[in-house]
Structure 1
């Protein structure tokens, strides 16, 4: 489908977004009065640097008139904005009430509405989105011969097997529809995508209806002046996925679950619940899909759907919460059309690994395990420590947590990470994480000030490689104890964001591998519970200097 000035005007009018069309000669609502109104746009963009002849430009965010200096010489055809820029450019202006909504609608149209050719799955929640997305993609790929695309906070995959590091949890709408078109052209039939609260806050998925939406869980997060002013706003934004879906999968034991059920009923969509219980469906909140341990060590889980036991599942990613994510993935896959008798497809999630998530390493020089993970808020830190207690509590481990927190946003995380951990660990090492303009040391000192539990030591080492190294040396100095070092927040990322720049960084996992390398030489193997798998979809970057872009959410 082609997009012209006339068809764009019609679409914006239908959605009550168009205010007027402005040129240096006239103001009008009738696109046919503009020369070239039926000429297809050659491209759509929100970056003035990529404008070419025939482009339609979206002037979003803190856009300034001086960004348009010289733009007519590039052949700009038209722009969409909330402000009249006719004093700066002779291009036709589509003046709208909400440029982000307009960008989503018009981008979908420009790329031929690729979402209509895909079964689109959207997954939201405070934690577990990425793991559940990878599990779901693995099942759908097995179901449809590798024709499932993925948009995640770690990687994007447009052909079912090639993974490229992503920029945002949920892409900008224009980028999302461009990638959807590429996925369709690559023969993809399904798309699994993470949907952040910010995606609804800033209209990245406006006009997009999900065939299946999953709402995994909710807990306070992303509360700040530049994200969500309150928890209510955070939850409300996430709930919008229900209003824009044809079917819902939700966590039966999540907070505010009654509200979620009411949303589904109000919008007339089917809802399937999932849960993690100790003894199957007979325990806890009844749910449609249930996972429960099949052995005392929690090394495998049964999963049942509507009382039908699907047998044992043994995941490559450890942790009870990941079996909850597996139950969610099966519920999602079933809602997307996978039959329960497709055993091989349902078990395709078992070998999946995600770089930087629950990666474990053993030190040959001491009785120490290091775990590298993306945990970064109260819920995820609590889940990680629950796992440590479940697996290793009987060995009375001495636990060190290496952590920081993001700058200029989500200020509540700083206190909550400390509160989640301080009664359950022995030592904090506060260090650099991503920031915009806040000095690392200020964030670390603030977090250290929240430590009140008696007997818990804390250290501030703002240089992250030094912090990780010191944690390992400290564990070796206490070799009379079993030590666990938890290094959280960065996963396998190869940069630290400092004053708007991505500064190359070795990576937590690479530092641990280097420090744990046997004295005689050779690479240190990850622990038995975290051996690499050939089916691993996300591969750790090989070079600390490889260009990458930070996640905004």
Structure 2
């Protein structure tokens, strides 16, 4: 399994983890070197808790160790083996890209649920894990290999047949999805993000491309994105979707119908389909078109597809409308947008919804991430919103004021202010809102925790907005 010499064991390995706090008697501990920690430092604790196998990239003094070339590859191999290679018994659909991964994943899950029933479908995404009718909050976009394989095994054991797995570049680069057999792959787009990990856009793209190279079944890429168009030429068997004239699944006649969007999808095998979706914005039309293309490639009937997209629900934290604002005559939208490109897309749709009303935006930039995008976000918000308030996102170890100042460097002081406390910033926007206005609270979306240098604190934008509106 590991391909290296393993010290004599007292019995079979019953579990594997990279967190010494989760070690169980008879388990294996993989001493992963993190970005700020050294795995070997936690070996004594793992042994105290009953670990019978230690795996590391170098020998550990006084401890029989299986020495491997890559600790994360080893973690994935052990996790997959102990879980019984669950993806071999499932149809796993991978969704990757910079923006739109979560929405596309939810859309594809909704389509599959409409076709095969709730009990037969599962979802692993940024927002949550869904196993049949059970919903759980997710920890990160793509969990560690142990989490991925354990969730796949739970889905298999629960009778799930189709799983949508939101597959991030971190998940691919850090071997979190190694051992997973993908049946289909969907690529949304590629814009500047995560360069703190990848260094260059080229490396970022090549990491995403691996998902398509692993997948032998249907593969769809966004023809309207330069990286997606390139992907279609580099990986054999990849079809395309988008508004481009040569797209295999072509978007036409897009129009807004109240709080819904209607568009035509010209398909290679079923002619022209009319799809009505409960989502707004061109980017969401693309998200639905890609997921619809995958479903049709799998052999789903146009009738089932059309009904499923019409009946799907809002996506948590993705242009999520807060009902409590409606009675006050304005709209509040919570969205996960955390890059300049993502923020621009959301504000463009919000401006359309506002009509003659004003657009107010509360946003921030994350700490410990690509700093170059901070002033770009400031420029976008100032250009597209009437009122822009810079606040704290996830600051991590950085000073929130320093981050806000860097965002402000690209903003226009004439319509931009800084309110460091996120709750106070949201309250300020809500108090300024008038009938007909739209307030966008961006950056955190579905997330329920704010990561600060002083520690994690509970924070959920939709809940906070609802509480503040109720207090009025």
Do both proteins adopt the same fold according to a TM-score greater than 0.5, normalized to the shorter chain? Answer: yes
- Once residues 252 and 167 of structure 1 are traced to their aligned partners in structure 2, the CA distance between those partners, rounded to angstroms, is 31
2:106 partner SS:
helix
Match of 2:367 in 1: 407
From 185, 207, 221, the equivalent of 2:157 is 185
From 289, 292, 299, the equivalent of 1:327 is 289
Match of 2:121 in 1: 148
Match of 1:238 in 2: 208
Match of 1:349 in 2: 309
Question: How far off is 1:491 after superposition?
Answer: 1.9
- Structure 2 residues without counterparts, runs of 5 or longer: none
Question: How far off is 1:135 after superposition?
Answer: 0.9
Describe the superposition over 1:258-289 as per-residue Cα deviations: whole angstroms up to 9, x where unpaired.
Answer: 43123213xxxx222111x3xxxxxx332122
- Once residues 486 and 209 of structure 1 are traced to their aligned partners in structure 2, the CA distance between those partners, rounded to angstroms, is 39
- Once residues 245 and 96 of structure 2 are traced to their aligned partners in structure 1, the CA distance between those partners, rounded to angstroms, is 21
From 408, 417, 423, the equivalent of 1:448 is 408
State the number of aligned residues. 463
Question: How far off is 1:471 after superposition?
Answer: 1.1
From 196, 199, 204, the equivalent of 2:171 is 199
From 67, 91, 99, the equivalent of 2:42 is 67
Q: Is the 8 A contact 2:335 2:441 kept in 1?
A: yes
Q: Is the 8 A contact 1:221 1:377 kept in 2?
A: yes
1:256 partner SS:
helix
- Structure 1 residues without counterparts, runs of 5 or longer: 1-7, 24-33, 278-283, 520-553
Question: How far off is 1:115 after superposition?
Answer: 0.8
Match of 2:457 in 1: 503
Match of 2:321 in 1: 360
Structure in which a larger fraction of residues adopt helix: 2
Q: State whether structure 2 residue 421 is matched by structure 1 residue 475.
A: no
Please give the root-mean-square deviation of Cα atoms over the aligned residues, in Å. Answer: 2.4
Match of 1:384 in 2: 346
- Once residues 49 and 144 of structure 1 are traced to their aligned partners in structure 2, the CA distance between those partners, rounded to angstroms, is 39
Question: How far off is 1:198 after superposition?
Answer: 0.9
Moved more, 40-49 or 402-411: 40-49
- Once residues 327 and 471 of structure 2 are traced to their aligned partners in structure 1, the CA distance between those partners, rounded to angstroms, is 8
Question: How far off is 1:294 after superposition?
Answer: 5.5
Moved more, 358-367 or 311-320: 358-367
Larger Rg: 1
Q: Is the 8 A contact 1:373 1:489 kept in 2?
A: yes
Task: For 1:104-115, list aligned pairs within 5 A.
Answer: 104-115=76-87
Q: Is the 8 A contact 2:56 2:66 kept in 1?
A: yes
Q: Is the 8 A contact 1:223 1:411 kept in 2?
A: no
- Once residues 438 and 345 of structure 1 are traced to their aligned partners in structure 2, the CA distance between those partners, rounded to angstroms, is 46
Question: How far off is 1:413 after superposition?
Answer: 2.7
